[in-house]
Structure 1
């Protein structure tokens, strides 16, 4: 009997693969150590860069040089939470809905409607709008559960955003 082993898809592995794919460098241990450090920072893990260098058997200096180069190329660890949520929307609902959410977000941000609101509640409410616009059956309770916020927060944000989107404010 044959069994097929599937590689575990944890967030760290996905992050490392994404950065390696986007940058296009493979096989360089210093680069891989720098990418692992960056991805662990993105995920909120507190592993020091020197420990990762030891793990890969490379010098701290070469890892730091790659990390600095990645930073200069725009690959940074403290990604914006909104950007992370938009990636989540893009992965689950597709590019069209993610772009709609992003456009609504940018419009509301330009109007000052998002000041003091948590990104999860904002994106949840905007996903509700985008899903309705694209004809998906979607409700505020489902979107609240997806983003870990209360349904009342999503409903409140929907009402507030309606005023801005329809030109009442």
Structure 2
């Protein structure tokens, strides 16, 4: 009986393949370990670099050098979830709408309006504002569906942000 290796289709494997292909490496185990570390950080996992190095059978120093090399050429993980969501907005709606969302986010953050709110609900509500400003047809239910939150959360955030933005 023959078994064939099937390509894994989970987000971690796709991310590792993407990082390795953009770095131009083939079967370099140090690069694979560094790519896995980077992708796990993107996913929000707290797996240490030394455990990943041991999994691939390479030294920690080797993985660290490859990871810093990836960082030097611009392959890095977003610092937080908001940056990931802003990149998603930029890809779907263009840079003008993303810049508007980012500027509204900065204003609200400086006024303390975002404490304790989930990033998905915040970005969904801010996208609602930015879309209206740029003349796009967009409603709170669509925003909720896109970011995986309840429509009530988006509507609550819209009302809350109106108060902070009118100050």
1:100 aligns with 2:103: no
CA pair 98-156 structure 1, distance change in 2 beyond 3 A: same
Contact 1:16 1:36 in 2 (8 A): no
User: In structure 1, what is the equivalent of residue 115 of structure 2?
Assistant: 115
Gapped regions of structure 2 (runs ≥ 5): 1-6
1:44-123 matched pairs, under 5 angstroms:
44=44, 49=49, 52-53=52-53, 58-68=58-68, 79-123=79-123
Distance (whole Å) between structure 2 residues aligned to residue 8 and residue 137 of structure 1: 38
Distance (whole Å) between structure 2 residues aligned to residue 51 and residue 157 of structure 1: 41
CA pair 70-98 structure 1, distance change in 2 beyond 3 A: same
If the length of structure 2 is used for normalisation, what is the TM-score? 0.74
Moved more, 29-38 or 82-91: 29-38
Deviation of 1:163 after TM superposition, in Å, equals: 1.8
The count of residues paired between Structure 1 and Structure 2 equals 159
RMSD (CA atoms)? 3.1
If the length of structure 1 is used for normalisation, what is the TM-score? 0.73
